[in-house]
Structure 1
Amino acid sequence: MTAIIVGAGTYGQVYLHYLQQAGWKVVGFLDDNSEIHGKVILETPVLGGIERLSDHKDLGFTHVFCPIGNNLVRTRVNSLARSLRLVTPNFIHQSAIVDSNIIQDAGICLFPGAIIMPHSHLGADVMISMGAKVAHHTTLENGVFLSTNAAIGASIQVGERAYFGMNTTAVTGKCRTIGSDTVIGAGAVVLSDVPDHAVFVGAPAKAISRN
């Protein structure tokens, strides 16, 4: 199987390592930073910008991985790839523990040590970093990002493209919904519902601004 990675930054470089370990042939990176076009990173060429997804036949790839932390960019790229009838595979690290069914080829990424409990649901383009945990009966809608060691409690509905910083906690029984396009700051402890487009920080978490 041949793939391209969108995003040649640090996450993309880590992804390259994991994909090569899993036996993927990665033909190159795509990145909108024109300063690195034509360069070689970790023996892998940067072949141009995101618009080159449409050149997939010439470049020789059929699958697209987009490990970009920016939720808007990641969901946009994966949607474009799927509109071009390219495959956006899930990547689930061998050390992740997954006890729920996950939609196939939905651009989902689970990094080492992630834990997904039974009866939870992950939407497309969800990205879950090292050691993050999703409890039972919780839904992460499309494009959610959990940073390292984030913990989402049980029976919580998390809206599209919500972003959780490192070591955040959404507490079971205290929080039922977290809105779309929210940002939960690193170390925050969420003890109440969070509206759309909010920024919450602290322990207990409080709103400080809106995106």
Structure 2
Amino acid sequence: MKDLIIIGGGGFAKEVLWLANDCNRKVIGVLDDNEETHQSIIQGSRVLGSISSWVEYSDCEFVIAIGSPRTRFQVYEKMLEKGNPQFSTLIHPSVKYSNTVEFGKGAIVCAGTILTVDVKVGNHNILNLNVTVGHECNFSDFVTIAPMAAVSGNVSLSKYVEIGTGALVRQGLSIGRGAMLGMGAILTKNISELAVFAGNPAKKLKELSEI
């Protein structure tokens, strides 16, 4: 198994360093564009330099530990400008899932999460602590689901969707590209792309700019 480098130096990156340790992965360092953090120590790992310097460690694997789907995608695109990095998938040992669940490259699945059957988790998805995912869900790339969210069966999430902490999604729904569902929201109808929904039942608050 190859050595691992964490991309990003924020709070979620600290959690992913802990996750990687539980997965018995050797982390050789962190890359972050905040120059003030360079050579500092985060959760026992040194910040080796900026994200673009990943090419100096091309024999390693990487995970992008940045919660925002949009920012995560921008970092991914920036990395691709310099080559073809190898991305690792991190699944905490406590995660429960059937043999019909598929995980994409670069996905991060945190402790306590449960995925049932016929679930597809896209590339560079983040499923945070204690998320539950029902049968036949299909998540596209760069999706973020915050802690304690519950996604019922047969739900479709398009690219860059973000679901807030403790939100509930009724079965059979779809959430469009770049949309956001707020913390604690209860979703009972489909969400169009780039829309922000919140509340109980969730209602549209505004629209976001293009990705």
Counterparts of 1:158 and 1:94 in 2: how far apart (Å)? 25
Alpha-carbon deviation of 1:56?
1.7
Once the two structures are superposed, what CA deviation does each residue of 1:45-84 show, in whole Å capped at 9, x if it has no partner?
1111111112225xxx510011110112223334555673
Any conservation in 1 of the 2:52–2:79 contact (CA below 8 Å)?
Answer: no
Counterparts of 1:74 and 1:29 in 2: how far apart (Å)? 15
Deviates more, 1:61-70 or 1:180-189: 61-70
Any conservation in 2 of the 1:78–1:125 contact (CA below 8 Å)?
Answer: no
Matches within 5 A, 1:3-82: 3-57=4-58, 61-78=59-76, 81=79
Any conservation in 2 of the 1:82–1:88 contact (CA below 8 Å)?
Answer: no
Any conservation in 1 of the 2:119–2:135 contact (CA below 8 Å)?
Answer: yes
Matches within 5 A, 1:1-211: 1-57=2-58, 61-78=59-76, 81=79, 84-99=83-98, 100-103=100-103, 106-173=105-172, 176-211=173-208
Alpha-carbon deviation of 1:131?
0.8
- Three-state SS of the structure 1 residue aligned to 2:87 is coil
Counterparts of 2:139 and 2:44 in 1: how far apart (Å)? 35
Structural RMSD (CA): 1.7
Counterparts of 1:192 and 1:42 in 2: how far apart (Å)? 41
Counterparts of 1:208 and 1:156 in 2: how far apart (Å)? 22
Any conservation in 1 of the 2:114–2:133 contact (CA below 8 Å)?
Answer: yes
Any conservation in 1 of the 2:33–2:50 contact (CA below 8 Å)?
Answer: yes
Alpha-carbon deviation of 1:132?
0.6
For structure 1, the 5+ residue unaligned runs are none
Counterparts of 2:165 and 2:101 in 1: how far apart (Å)? 25
Alpha-carbon deviation of 1:37?
1.3
Any conservation in 2 of the 1:81–1:88 contact (CA below 8 Å)?
Answer: no
Any conservation in 2 of the 1:3–1:63 contact (CA below 8 Å)?
Answer: yes
Any conservation in 2 of the 1:27–1:44 contact (CA below 8 Å)?
Answer: yes
Once the two structures are superposed, what CA deviation does each residue of 1:148-170 show, in whole Å capped at 9, x if it has no partner?
11111111211111000111011
Calculate percent identity across the aligned residue pairs: 24
Deviates more, 1:114-123 or 1:37-46: 37-46
Alpha-carbon deviation of 1:206?
0.2
Deviates more, 1:125-134 or 1:17-26: 17-26
Any conservation in 2 of the 1:78–1:88 contact (CA below 8 Å)?
Answer: no
User: Could you tell me the TM-score, scaled by structure 1's length?
Assistant: 0.90
Counterparts of 1:41 and 1:26 in 2: how far apart (Å)? 11
User: Could you tell me the TM-score, scaled by structure 2's length?
Assistant: 0.90
Alpha-carbon deviation of 1:125?
0.7
Counterparts of 1:120 and 1:12 in 2: how far apart (Å)? 26
For structure 2, the 5+ residue unaligned runs are none
Deviates more, 1:201-210 or 1:35-44: 35-44
Aligned pair count reads 205
Alpha-carbon deviation of 1:135?
0.8
Any conservation in 2 of the 1:115–1:131 contact (CA below 8 Å)?
Answer: yes
Amino acid at match of 1:52: S
- Three-state SS of the structure 1 residue aligned to 2:86 is coil
